[in-house]
Structure 1
Amino acid sequence: MDRKQAKELLPIIQAFAEGKIIQSRRINGMWIDLEMKTALNIISLIDQPQKYRIKPEPKYRPFNDAEECWQEMQKHQPFGWIKASHGYFNIIGIMDDRINFGTKENWLDYEYMFKMYKFIDGTPFGIKEE
């Protein structure tokens, strides 16, 4: 292994050490999660690095409107509750461009809510992009 190969493989090895999921590309081009409890096949990784990757994290974006927000909220329990570093809050109003919780004057736009809040289950307060 030369230094260039080591630089290419280091992120995968680091991710494995951190407990992230490593994927392998099959003959049909599909990526599958490797079931690695304790070992990573270093020989295969060195011989065919193009067949391995760190599983991509899902991407999220802010809601576009009230309907999209409402549909996504129904997938998370307890319904209507969100969290931030400073506490837990119950949503009491949804409009096409903002959310209300707490008091009637506390309206915040979807972009801000996406950056600062999460659903109670820990997923971002937004919509998952496919």
Structure 2
Amino acid sequence: MTREQAKDLLPIIQAFAEGKIIEFRNKSFKEWVEIENPSFDPTITNYRIKPEPKYHPFKDAEECWQEMQKHQPFGWIKKTCGHCNFLHIMELYSTGILINNVDNFGSFRNLIKTYDSAFAETTFADGTPFGIKEE
């Protein structure tokens, strides 16, 4: 292995040590495949850190509704910052959602969020981003 090859592999080896998923591709294959115990031999294989999925905000109520049905508990989201408050989605609109927010003192209030702000500030209750996964 040359020093240049070592420099190229160093971030991938670091990511592997941190528990990230590593993928490899033999020089004759087009598809990337996950590997549990990579040998990090740059002469026979290409390596990369598995790309994280990307998400974007919902464009409308129909797209939001279709995605909501895939997540449990249905209709619940949680804040990504501050307290771990769970919020209940009350209504979907073409440009956003109506949320019932119950605070730690038992009082509640209704909030209207755009899909962009809901994407930035919340996740589904199962922890996945409150948006659409890009393919």
Aligned partner of 2:131 in structure 1 is: 126
Structure 1 residue 35, shift from structure 2 partner: 2.4
How do 1:71-110 residues align onto structure 2 when only pairs under 5 Å count? 71-84=66-79, 85=81, 86=83, 87-102=85-100, 103-104=109-110, 106-110=111-115
1:21 equivalent in alignment to 2:16: no
The letter for the 1-side match of 2:32 is W
User: 1 or 2, which has the higher strand percentage?
Assistant: 2
1:64 equivalent in alignment to 2:82: no
Per the normalisation by structure 1, the TM-score is 0.86
Distance in 1, matches of 2:39 and 2:93, equals 52
Q: Counterpart of 2:36 in 1: which secondary structure?
A: coil
Gaps of 5+ in 1: none
Aligned partner of 1:12 in structure 2 is: 12
Structure 1 residue 111, shift from structure 2 partner: 0.7
Structure 1 residue 10, shift from structure 2 partner: 1.3
Q: Counterpart of 1:47 in 2: which secondary structure?
A: coil
Aligned partner of 1:33 in structure 2 is: 34
Deviation readout 1:65-92 (Å, 9 max, x if unpaired): 0000000000000000001132111100
Deviation readout 1:12-40 (Å, 9 max, x if unpaired): 0111001011001143311111123xxx3
The letter for the 1-side match of 2:130 is F
Aligned partner of 2:43 in structure 1 is: 47
Distance in 2, matches of 1:41 and 1:122, equals 33
Length, aligned pairs only: 123
Q: Counterpart of 2:87 in 1: which secondary structure?
A: strand
Identity %: 55
Gaps of 5+ in 2: 101-108
Aligned partner of 1:115 in structure 2 is: 120
The letter for the 1-side match of 2:12 is I
Runs of 4+ in 1 over 2 A off after TM superposition: 1-7, 46-49
Deviation readout 1:40-62 (Å, 9 max, x if unpaired): 313x1x3246x111101111000
Per the normalisation by structure 2, the TM-score is 0.84
RMSD after superposition:
1.5
Structure 1 residue 2, shift from structure 2 partner: 4.3
User: 1 or 2, which has the higher helix percentage?
Assistant: 1
